Amino acid sequence: MSRLIKISEINDIFPEYRNTPIEKLLKYHNLGFPHENHSKAELLVGMCMDNRKQLNIPNNFSYILRTGGGNLRYSEFKVSYAVAIGGVKALALIGHNNCGMVNLMSKKQSFINGLVENAGWTAEKAEEHFMNFALMFEIENEIDFLLSESKRLRKKYPKILIAPLFYKVEDNLLYLIEE
């Protein structure tokens, strides 16, 4: 069982994240530390596109990739770019509760109707589109997905520090996950 760890003070941050960009992210976003000047990016954040979430971080501190569910499987060239050219050494993978990518299949009809009404698609085209992509983005459970995606990325980028974090939409705070 994984457990969410609330970060209310510096001592709550796991030792493996001390003095890393992950600690800085938690200090800025959760603990209200004043924004420092950053001359270059130190971090890559991968997070869901969901409109309820916004990070409190200074300009220039981080690259941010936003995707459905924070799923980076189809954004790897951009991850590689941030690592190779941007020089970032850490990746914060941020999932959140109440994610729209959970149980995506149950939203099939609303998705089709929405594309027909809002974008002018035919129902056939909309259904084909949904069926082509829904399984690529569907998530069964936010935390399990976050942990398996972190594991996958750690294998792929072994020298990069990868931290799975959980964003609670009720309090807009980041939580660490006891893996």
Binding site for Zn ion (CB under 5 A): 48, 50, 99
Q: What are the angstrom distances between the C-alpha of 113 and each of 123, 126, 131? A: 7, 8, 14
**Which lies closer to Zn ion via its Cβ, residue 63 or residue 145?**
145
**Shortest distance, CB of residue 168 to Zn ion, whole angstroms?**
12
Smallest distance from Zn ion to CB 110, Å: 16
Round to whole Å and give the CA distance between 129 and 132: 5
Q: Which is nearer to Zn ion, 44 or 47 (by Cβ)?
A: 47
Q: Which two tokens stand for residue 108?
A: 């099939």
> Which C-beta is closer to Zn ion: that of 123 or that of 169?
169
Q: How far is the CB of 69 from Zn ion (least distance, A)?
A: 5
Closest CA to 148 of 54, 73, 45, 77: 73
Q: Look up residue 122 and give its amino acid.
A: T
From residue 106, alpha-carbon distances to 13, 103, 110, 111 in Å are 37, 6, 9, 10
Residue 48 or 88 having the CB closest to Zn ion:
48
- Min dist CB 47 to Zn ion, Å, is 8
